[in-house]
Amino acid sequence: MELNRRIEAFAFLGGILKGYPERKGEENGSLYDILDDAVTRASNENPWFVREFIEHTLGDWSVNLEKEKIVSWLRPYEKQLKGKVMKKDVAVIMAGNIPLVGLHDFLSVLISGNHFTGRLSSGDPYLLPTLAKILIRFDPGWEVMIAFTGEKLTGFDAVIATGSNNSANYFEYYFSKYPHIIRKNRNAIAILNGHETEDELAGLADDVFLYFGMGCRNVSKLYVPAGYDFSPLFLSFRSYERFIRHHKWMNNHEYYNSVFLLNGIPALDNGFMLLTENKLIASPPAVLYYEFYEDATELMTRLSVQQDEIQVVVCTAGAPLPHCLPGQAQSPALTDYADEVNTLQFLLQLS
């Protein structure tokens, strides 16, 4: 399949996502039905995949899959893409922490002209295969380029695997003889100066709570100046007060609240989120860690040593690590590669 045809296919997919859930474009009504069935099954079977958040990620991807954005993303690699002849079989082992977390890898493998074999997470088995069906409906030529399997992966030329730190150690050992990208645990952090506006704090609330904080780009740790007043922050968090009605979230809240009380660990509690001082970066659902700092320059130096744990820094000023403004952590562009590893360049080097 020629590059232009591949681009048109993903732009078509983006159009379908943009029309959902309003179901615009009656000529593609059956495709919306297929997508809606997958969304319903995913939200029914995984309590963390609420429809609101599935629709949010579909909306974000509808923007990224606009033709102009795909073309812009691929422009630096156009010569390599058009000159590519040998297709490789790329195995992709996907996490299931948030909806469609493996879509960027799926896109990268296929847009680069390679064959995709996906090993889906049990937490997200419906959404990506449904997007594959939409691509195949646009052009049946995709059918020979896309496969999903629950069996042992065999016959592949390269591997992209995302998992926990423990599983990453296994992946490194098992796939060591193949070209590979192995991703471990990472989280987003936020550096506050105490002068954030209401809009900036509202954006930070999205960075914390979207997808129940499960994503590698969710803020799990705050760095705040000494004497920081948490009241405005808690006020912004009220936009997610509906989490009180989510049983799995509140189970976490109640569990960690009990742990903190039993161990004498001070924590701020707004009824559905616990804030506690901790040196670690990764916090569990319903808990947000924070740490005070005195000097911003010294903090940046310290964080640079921990960069392997940090996916992105949310801040209103610059930072030496990948960073974004509040509210943008969960809306990465196509060029925002996980763990700062250029997936597309890796795939093009395979040939």
What's the pLDDT score for residue 74?
A: 97
Alpha helix segments (H runs only) across the chain:
3-19, 29-45, 51-64, 67-74, 78-83, 103-111, 127-138, 165-174, 198-209, 231-237, 247-262, 296-305, 343-349
- Model-level pTM? 0.94
What's the pLDDT score for residue 127?
A: 98
Return the structure tokens found at 333. 């562009």
What's the pLDDT score for residue 318?
A: 77
3-state helix, strand, coil in the chain (%, to 5): 50, 15, 35
Query: How many residues are recorded in the chain?
Result: 351
What's the pLDDT score for residue 27?
A: 56
Q: How many CB atoms lie within 10 A of CB 191?
A: 21
Domains of the chain, each with CATH number or no CATH:
3-184 (3.40.605.10), 187-324 (3.40.309.10)
pLDDT tens track, the chain, 351 positions: 899 999 999 999 999 999 987 774 455 568 998 999 999 999 999 999 999 999 999 999 999 999 999 999 999 999 889 876 678 999 999 999 999 999 999 999 999 999 999 999 999 999 999 999 999 999 999 999 999 998 888 899 999 999 888 888 889 988 999 999 999 999 999 999 999 999 999 999 999 999 999 999 999 999 999 999 999 999 999 999 999 999 999 999 999 999 999 999 999 999 999 999 999 999 999 999 999 999 988 999 999 999 999 999 999 987 788 999 999 999 999 999 999 999 999 999 996
